[in-house]
Amino acid sequence: MDLGLKIEDKPFPQNITVNLGGRLSIWDRPKIMGVINLTPDSFYEGSRTSANSDLFKEKIGIMILEGVDILDLGGYSTRPGASEISINEEIDRVIPAIEWISKEFPETTISIDTFRSKVAKEAICSGAHIVNDISASELDPEMMATVGDLGVPYIAMHMRENPQTMQHHTSYDNIIQDILYYFSEKLEDCKKFGINDVIIDIGFGFAKTVDQNFYLLKNLQHFKTLDKPLLVGVSRKSMIYKTLGVAADEALNGSTALHMYSLCQGANLLRVHDVKEAKETIELYKKLYP
E strand spans, the chain = 16-20, 23-27, 31-37, 70-74, 109-113, 130-133, 154-157, 198-201, 230-232, 269-272
SS3 145: helix
Rounded Cα–Cα distance for residues 166 and 205 (Å): 9
Q: How far apart are CA 199 and CA 236, in angstroms?
A: 21
Beta strand 154-157 pairing with 16-20: unpaired
Residues in contact with 229: Cβ distance below 8 Å, sequence separation at least 6, in sequence order: 16, 18, 27, 199, 200, 268, 269
**DSSP 8-state code for residue 48:** B
Question: What whole-number distance in Å separates Cα of residue 236 and Cα of residue 252?
Answer: 6
- Picking from 260, 286, 110, the residue whose alpha carbon sits closest to that of residue 270 is 260
CA-to-CA dists, residue 98 to 42, 57, 74, 227, 231, angstroms? 19, 11, 10, 31, 22
Residue type at 73 in one-letter notation: L
Q: Which residues pair with 109 in a beta bridge?
A: 70
Which residues participate in catalysis according to the annotation? 237, 271
- CA 82 – CA 269 distance, rounded (Å): 25
Q: Are 254 and 281 in contact (CB under 8 A)?
A: no
Distance of CA 236 to the CA centre of its chain: 13
